[in-house]
Amino acid sequence: MSLIKKLVEQLKSKEFREYLMSTHFWGPVANWGIPLAAIADTRKDPRFISGKMTFALTLYSLMFMRFAWRVQPRNMLLFACHLTNECAQLTQGARFINYHYIQGPETEKQNAQEKEKEK
């Protein structure tokens, strides 16, 4: 019970209220839209992935992970956001490379034709 009491006291503290009203908190919260969109895009057809944008977002997240780590005090919420985006963008990049350079659109057409034959 004392653990819950400590948590409630921490949430009521002036420092926590100030943190909730800071850009140190709301900046990362607003940034979460980027990795969430990238994760949602992993279910979409890989032919719609932009290789240039995926590469740009990969570099963007790497730079902001470094920034979040180096800024004082460290912004772990921002770091987690960009780490998640980095993983999502790398996944998208792998899908892009697989579709355009390894598997190719022709293989996709063959798979679709085989599925039609099975029906």
Copy the structure tokens of residue 47: 């032919």
pLDDT of residue 23: 81
User: What is the pLDDT, as a whole number, of residue 5?
Assistant: 85
Contact 98, 45 (CB under 8 A): no
pLDDT, average across residues 84-107: 91
Q: From the CB of residue 28, how many other CB atoms can be counted at a distance below 10 Å?
A: 19
Could you give the number of structural domains in the chain? 1
Mean pLDDT of the chain: 89
- Structure-model confidence comparison of residues 55 and 16, the more confident one: 55
Could you give the CA distance from residue 113 to residue 59 in angstroms, rounded to a whole number? 38
Token pair belonging to 89? 């963008």
Length of the chain: 119
More confident call, 22 vs 44: 44
pTM for this predicted structure = 0.76
* Structural domain that includes position 52: 1-118
